Chain A
């Protein structure tokens, strides 16, 4: 994308800033930058809480036998860890990035519906308070896995299920409103001259993700509603005795759940497609093929859900259909990986921290993609299903995929947000510690899974002991590495070397045409794009 920008002179003049002071600024704000910052902070706090739970899990699994926690509490840990990381850490982090960057990238004064935007954010802390508060209830927190399969979540659930359901309901409302805001902003707020095919790829990926969210979050709401009525009101959606079917739960859940995993990875593609061209000092290779690939992945994500359920005894036709459709996804995904490689090819590459995370993303996400391809094969999935191989697979795509891309994005735009350059040394420490520990953490899980270690069990057979010890050590190291990032972040907000308007010489896009830190209001007058 090449854009030439003609500026109106009075951009971001200070007297337009009606910024309130103190807590009211954050409670009442309608500013996309404030709301973006709140989303990002919220997601980071959730990452640390969810990470702490992961460490409890890894501490228990450090050696065979039951040492630290009861199996029921272990189940609560795995459940809430999953829910928090998916709905509390990754998704809000992406929404935060969207809030901060979309209006600046398309030359809009703010998000299309600023008050709705604030509502979307403030629902989240309340929703997660309910979820976390359930730990202090008599029955304990939800213990049926983040996928809350019936009948674990219906017939056999503990007393906190109703709270779980309503917490998911309100976080779903938040997601839907946030997604509507993103889609409407992109459709309606682009600066004159910015046609769809001139939008940065980052914008494209959020556009498509927004559609996915609007389409599937209501299905999740329907699923939890059925769980609620099955548990408390005697309906029999998931009870064969009344003519329903527990497997029906899995179909409806994964109809939401599979697009959901693309909701967590498409924005990552957008970030990587922004950083790699910048630090390769080349244009993104195959822009339009990237757009079409993203759209194809989004479409395919609606017709592959049952690959999560190969072992449920589906009719053979279903198994084959979902296997082939799933394998088909590797085509557009491959297009993306090759395009990133081609972007770097013969580029003048430099390895600033955002680029380090981006390159790590491409390599490690591809590993996660390959293990996904293995899991897509119905016959071999009978072996891998519900083993640590699956855990390794989705942590490669979610941690070294989604989370690494978020770090790449944050390191890329942090100077724009704070106006200061962050500590290069700390960021490199953060990267290398994370990179090494995350592979010690997740790579051996492949072998554990292939050898047959089941997931979600607090104990294991003796032959798995060595690998588990290493996995746990990697887990603690990875968790602690994130504290380096916290230190770096606090330091960068306080001060440091002043950042220029465009700190990366290869960067392209409207966000770099405004000062660093970005003025409270940007593009009140839309820029013209040729």
Chain B
């Protein structure tokens, strides 16, 4: 703000998208609540339909809302300051996602460092081991739980290692796309971004294969196979959901690049998707270290 006295900050007029979004979240919460509640009773409820309606409405809202924002941005209503708001907003959103994963990593570390050894009598819990489950031996990965459920640990070589290489490569390609965009080399942006999306899709494909392998009779690694299965599937599952979201974001950005959107100094959506992708990548590295290797 050195050149001009001030920039006008664009305050949008009324918008109906927020209330649509609120209704969508309401439908998702009610639908998911009803659906999950009926899982045990095996009663066919209306939950699934409400949930789907809610998800459809969220997608509709995002299309409409983003469409408004893109139109406003393309017509030059946004200032440098507005761009700052978007960027900071996205950074803090990613920070909140980091904290969401932190809760599950916290659970994983607590189980490994405290609860599993304690159940075997570590620390001052000698009698816990003796009285509750005298047969139990603490190991990690916990392939035999105190109540006797047995499972197999997922190794780090093979698919997980391949997936690590894929995601790390995709972070590099996303960065190269960013560099190309800043230099105004649009064909290269399309190439690198397209490659990033492709790598994301391949990662997801392998992840599904890995799950199929886990759920096979050979491995018997299920979500309810004790704390190892719980943390394994919850962490990799939420990560997979984030990769899916990130891939969709990058794909939308790619479509916009093909439509001729973004300039070397105005590319917030590109930046946001790319930040998100790097974040997803970092989470995977943490997963690879703490869930697979150690």
Interface residues of A (CB under 8 A from B): 18, 20, 24-25, 27-30, 108-110, 112-116, 118-119, 122-123, 125-127, 129-130, 159-160, 162-163, 165-167, 169-170, 173, 176, 179-181, 183-184, 187-189, 192, 214-219, 221-223, 225-226, 228-229, 232-237, 240-245, 247-248, 251-252, 255, 315, 521, 524-526
Chain A residues contacting B15 (CB-CB under 8 Å) are 28, 30, 115, 118
> Which of these, B30, B115, B223, contacts A244 with CB under 8 Å?
B115
Contact in complex: B6, A526 (CB < 8 Å):
yes
- A selection of 26 A-B contacts at a CB cut-off of 8 Å is A18-B13, A25-B14, A28-B16, A28-B19, A30-B11, A114-B12, A122-B21, A163-B34, A166-B29, A169-B29, A170-B28, A180-B89, A183-B88, A183-B92, A189-B81, A218-B98, A232-B37, A232-B39, A235-B223, A240-B119, A241-B146, A243-B228, A244-B227, A245-B118, A252-B107, A255-B103
> Which of these, B114, B124, B228, contacts A245 with CB under 8 Å?
B114
Contact in complex: B14, A28 (CB < 8 Å):
yes
Dominant SS among interface residues on chain A = helix
Of B12, B34, B92, B119, the most chain A CB neighbours within 10 A belong to B92
The residue on A at minimum CB distance from B132 is A240
Assembly CA distance A130 to B81 (angstroms): 38
Contact in complex: A184, B88 (CB < 8 Å):
yes
Chain B residues contacting A235 (CB-CB under 8 Å) are 223-224, 229-230, 233-234
Contact in complex: B19, A187 (CB < 8 Å):
no
Contact in complex: B107, A115 (CB < 8 Å):
no
Chain B residues contacting A110 (CB-CB under 8 Å) are 9, 11
Q: Which of B113-148 contact A (CB under 8 A)?
A: 114-116, 118-119, 123-124, 132, 142, 145-147
Q: Which of B160-196 contact A (CB under 8 A)?
A: none
Further 18 A-B residue pairs, CB within 8 A, beyond A112-B89, A236-B226, A242-B230: A20-B14, A27-B16, A28-B16, A122-B19, A166-B32, A188-B84, A216-B99, A218-B96, A219-B102, A221-B103, A229-B223, A235-B224, A235-B230, A237-B107, A243-B142, A243-B146, A244-B227, A248-B115
Chain A residues contacting B114 (CB-CB under 8 Å) are 245, 248
Contact in complex: B37, A162 (CB < 8 Å):
yes
Contact in complex: B29, A218 (CB < 8 Å):
no
The residue on A at minimum CB distance from B12 is A30
Assembly CA distance A123 to B58 (angstroms): 13
Contact in complex: B100, A248 (CB < 8 Å):
no
Chain B residues contacting A119 (CB-CB under 8 Å) are 17-19, 21-22
Interchain nearest-CB distance for A177 vs B (Å): 8
Given contacts A163-B30, A219-B102, A229-B234, contact A251 B110 (CB under 8 A): yes
Interchain nearest-CB distance for A170 vs B (Å): 5
Chain A residues contacting B233 (CB-CB under 8 Å) are 235
Lowest 8 A-B CB distances belong to which pairs? A222-B103, A234-B224, A243-B227, A245-B115, A122-B22, A28-B14, A235-B230, A119-B18
Contact in complex: A163, B14 (CB < 8 Å):
no
Chain B residues contacting A525 (CB-CB under 8 Å) are 6
Assembly CA distance A188 to B86 (angstroms): 10
Assembly CA distance A237 to B234 (angstroms): 10
Interchain nearest-CB distance for B191 vs A (Å): 33
Contact in complex: B23, A214 (CB < 8 Å):
no
Contact in complex: B230, A244 (CB < 8 Å):
yes
Chain A residues contacting B29 (CB-CB under 8 Å) are 126-127, 130, 163, 166-167, 169-170
- Give the interface size bracket for B toward A: 35 or more
> Which of these, A18, A28, A248, contacts B107 with CB under 8 Å?
A248
The residue on A at minimum CB distance from B13 is A18
Assembly CA distance A73 to B213 (angstroms): 47
Chain A residues contacting B223 (CB-CB under 8 Å) are 229, 233-235
The residue on B at minimum CB distance from A217 is B96
Contact in complex: B30, A214 (CB < 8 Å):
no
Chain B residues contacting A233 (CB-CB under 8 Å) are 39, 223-224
Chain A residues contacting B23 (CB-CB under 8 Å) are 126
Contact in complex: A244, B33 (CB < 8 Å):
no
Contact in complex: A116, B18 (CB < 8 Å):
yes
Assembly CA distance A96 to B264 (angstroms): 39
Interchain nearest-CB distance for A208 vs B (Å): 14
The residue on B at minimum CB distance from A228 is B36
Assembly CA distance A119 to B58 (angstroms): 12
Assembly CA distance A345 to B97 (angstroms): 46
Contact in complex: B115, A240 (CB < 8 Å):
yes
Given contacts A126-B26, A162-B36, A251-B110, contact A115 B85 (CB under 8 A): no
Assembly CA distance A225 to B104 (angstroms): 10
Contact in complex: B227, A236 (CB < 8 Å):
yes
Contact in complex: B145, A241 (CB < 8 Å):
yes
Assembly CA distance A525 to B230 (angstroms): 54
Chain A residues contacting B119 (CB-CB under 8 Å) are 240, 243
Q: Which of B221-253 contact A (CB under 8 A)?
A: 222-224, 226-231, 233-234
Dominant SS among interface residues on chain B = helix
Q: Is B78 an interface residue (CB 8 A)?
A: no
Contact in complex: B14, A243 (CB < 8 Å):
no
Contact in complex: A243, B145 (CB < 8 Å):
yes
Contact in complex: A113, B89 (CB < 8 Å):
yes
Given contacts A30-B15, A119-B21, A242-B145, contact A222 B92 (CB under 8 A): no
Interchain nearest-CB distance for A283 vs B (Å): 29
Chain A residues contacting B97 (CB-CB under 8 Å) are 218
> Which of these, A159, A165, A169, A214, contacts B92 with CB under 8 Å?
A214
Interchain nearest-CB distance for A179 vs B (Å): 8
Assembly CA distance A218 to B100 (angstroms): 5
Contact in complex: B14, A219 (CB < 8 Å):
no
The residue on A at minimum CB distance from B224 is A234
Chain A residues contacting B44 (CB-CB under 8 Å) are none
Contact in complex: A243, B18 (CB < 8 Å):
no
Chain A residues contacting B103 (CB-CB under 8 Å) are 218-219, 221-223, 226, 252, 255
Assembly CA distance A25 to B119 (angstroms): 59
Contact in complex: B14, A24 (CB < 8 Å):
yes
Contact in complex: B22, A221 (CB < 8 Å):
no
Of A109, A176, A222, the most chain B CB neighbours within 10 A belong to A222
Contact in complex: A315, B124 (CB < 8 Å):
yes
Of A113, A214, A232, A243, the most chain B CB neighbours within 10 A belong to A243
The residue on A at minimum CB distance from B11 is A110
Q: Is B93 an interface residue (CB 8 A)?
A: yes
Contact in complex: B100, A219 (CB < 8 Å):
yes
Q: Is B65 an interface residue (CB 8 A)?
A: yes
Contact in complex: A176, B96 (CB < 8 Å):
yes
Chain A residues contacting B1 (CB-CB under 8 Å) are 192
Q: Is B63 an interface residue (CB 8 A)?
A: no
Chain A residues contacting B285 (CB-CB under 8 Å) are none
Assembly CA distance A176 to B92 (angstroms): 9
Assembly CA distance A184 to B15 (angstroms): 21
Contact in complex: B106, A255 (CB < 8 Å):
yes
Contact in complex: A166, B85 (CB < 8 Å):
no
> Which of these, B22, B81, B145, B227, contacts A188 with CB under 8 Å?
B81
Assembly CA distance A252 to B9 (angstroms): 40
Contact in complex: B18, A118 (CB < 8 Å):
yes
Chain B residues contacting A176 (CB-CB under 8 Å) are 93, 96
Assembly CA distance A192 to B9 (angstroms): 13
The residue on A at minimum CB distance from B9 is A109
Chain A residues contacting B19 (CB-CB under 8 Å) are 27-28, 118-119, 122
The residue on A at minimum CB distance from B95 is A214
Chain B residues contacting A114 (CB-CB under 8 Å) are 11-12
Chain A residues contacting B132 (CB-CB under 8 Å) are 240
